[in-house]
Chain A
Amino acid sequence: MLNAIVHFSVQKRYWVLTLVLALVCTGYWSYQRLNIDAVPDITNVQVQINTEAPGFSPLEAEQRITFIVETALYGLPQLDYTRSLSRYGLSQVTVVFEEGTDIYHARNLIDERLASIKTQLPPGLDPVMGPLATGLGEIFTYTLSADPQAVQENGQPYDAMALRELQDWVIKPQLAQVPGVVEINTIGGYDKQYQVQPDPLLLLQHGVTLAQLLASLESNNANTGAGYIEKYGQQFLVRAEGQLKTIEDIENIIILNQDNSPVRVKDVAQVIIGKELRTGAATQNGLETVMGTAMMLVGENSRSIAQQLAAKLTVAQDSLPKGVKAESVYDRTTLVDKTIKTVQTNLLEGALLVVVVLFVLLGNIRAALITAAVIPLSMMATISGMVQAGVSANLMSLGALDFGLIVDGTVIIVENCVRRLSLAQRDSGTTPQLKQRLALVYEATIEVVRPSLFGVAIITLVYLPIFSLSGVEGKMFHPMAATVVMALLAAMVISITLVPAAVAVFLKGKISEKENVLIKGANRIYVPLLEQALKGRAVVLALAGVLVTTCIWLMTTLGSEFVPQLDEGDIALHALRIPGTGLEQSIKMQITLENRLMEFPEVNRVFSKIGTPEVATDPMPPNVADTFIMLNPRDEWPAPNRSKEDLISSIEKALQELPGNNYEFTQPIEMRFNELISGVRADVGIKIFGDDLTVLRNTAQRVSAIVAETQGAADVRVEQVDGLPMLTIIPKRDLLARYGLNVQQLQDMVATAVGGSQAGLIYEGDRRFKLTVRLSDEIRNHLPRLLALPIPIRQGGYVPLSEIAKIQKAPAPAQISRENGKRRIVVTANVRDRDLGSFVTELKKKIPLQAEIPSGYWLDYGGTFEQLESASQRLTWVVPLTLVGILAILVIAFGSLKDSLIIFTGVPLALTGGVLALWFRDMPLSISAGVGFIALSGIAVLNGLVMLTFIRELRVSGETLWNAVVNGAQTRLRPVLMTALVASLGFIPMALNTGTGAEVQRPLATVVIGGIISSTLLTLVVLPVLYHWLHNVKHSEP
Chain B
Amino acid sequence: MNQAYLQIKNLTKEFLSAYQDEKVIAVKNFNLEMKRGEFLTLLGPSGCGKTTILRMIGGFENPTTGDIHLDDVKINDIPANKRDTCMVFQSYALFPHMNIYKNVAFGLEFRDLATGEIRKRVEKILEFVGLAGLGNRPVAQLSGGQQQRVALARAMVNEPKVLLFDEPLSNLDAKLRIKMRIFIRKIQQESNITSIYVTHDQEEAMTLSDRIVVMNRGEIEQVGTPEEIYSRPRTKFVADFIGKQTNFMTGNVLESVDGRQEVEFWNRRFSFERYPHLKKGDAVTLVIRPEMIELSAQEGVCNGEVTLVTYLGSEVNYEVTAEGQVFTIQVSNPLKTGIFRTGDRVCLNFDLRNIYLIKA
B is a partner of A: no
